[in-house]
Amino acid sequence: MPLSITTEIIKELRDATGISVMQCKHALEEAEGDMKKALAILKKTSSDIALKKGSREVKDGAVTIKLKDLPAQAGKKAVLVSLLCETDFVARNEDFTTLLGKLADIALSKGLEKMKVLAKDLIDPIIQKTGENIQLGDAYEVSNKDKGYLGSYVHNNKIAVITSLEGGSAELARDIAMHIAAMKPEYITSEEITPDTKQTITEVFQKEIALIDKPEEIKKKILDGKIGTYFKEKTLSEQAFIKDSGETVGHLLQKNKAKIKEIRQCSV
């Protein structure tokens, strides 16, 4: 016989899923009061809703970083996970931010691949609750062993950076991560700038310089200056350090006998 659908059983299903009271009531009615069947119905409904919304553009979201110590004083491990949605309103929603934290916790404890496998079943119910398309964004893992340090920085849950240093200190690693979040360098050192990139930027500035009524040797100096300034502003080692404009990041690293091993970053 069908079980009686009481306020208490609706509340129990609501507490277990976080889905609206009316959706829980309808699921229980369809399941004739059977809690397990109602849960399965809600899961299928969430999946169907997620499928329908899957083509909608995700232009907003949030990002988080979580760290933990590795066993036997082997260093630290950090994960960076981003979750995407359609609006900033949902990005600030408690269910959304709780989901992001849960995904990061799983990535930290069980690894990125396991988190990715579990992500859909965790995301679909939140799509059902919020009415927006939600997708897993970038996800990175960084481990730092031996003589090195991990530093991380998150700005307004929109920009996140993990920096791994060889040498230096934990404070320096965090400072570099904060600098990267603020200054958004495209290269770590000038060696990373390809000939094709240099040629493209040169051609852009040549068009500007061609309009200047100056002798060719002056134009050449102006061109070299513009190219140099452009790449200096986009190269981490040559940027003025955000906390002390009197020295470059490259000099700061050299002074602290540190080298950058890895950088992972994401903005939403």
CATH number belonging to domain 60-183+248-267: 3.30.479.20
Q: Cα separation of 64 and 153, whole Å?
A: 9
List pLDDT tens digits, range 206-239: 888 888 888 888 888 999 999 999 999 999 999 9
Which residue ranges make up each domain of the chain?
7-53, 60-183+248-267, 194-234
Which of 21 and 195 is assigned the larger pLDDT? 195
**Strand positions, DSSP E, 11-127:** 60-69, 76-85
What is the reported pTM? 0.76
List pLDDT tens digits, range 94-112: 999 999 999 999 999 999 9
Please determine whether the domains at 7-53 and 60-183+248-267 fall in the same fold group of CATH.
no
Closest CA to 263 of 184, 164, 172, 146: 164
CATH class of 7-53: mainly alpha
Looking only at the bridges linking them, the beta strands covering 159-166 and 240-241 are: unpaired
Q: Residue 161: helix, strand or coil by DSSP?
A: strand
- Whether the per-residue pLDDT at 201 is higher than 50: the answer is yes
Q: Report which DSSP code applies to 165.
A: E
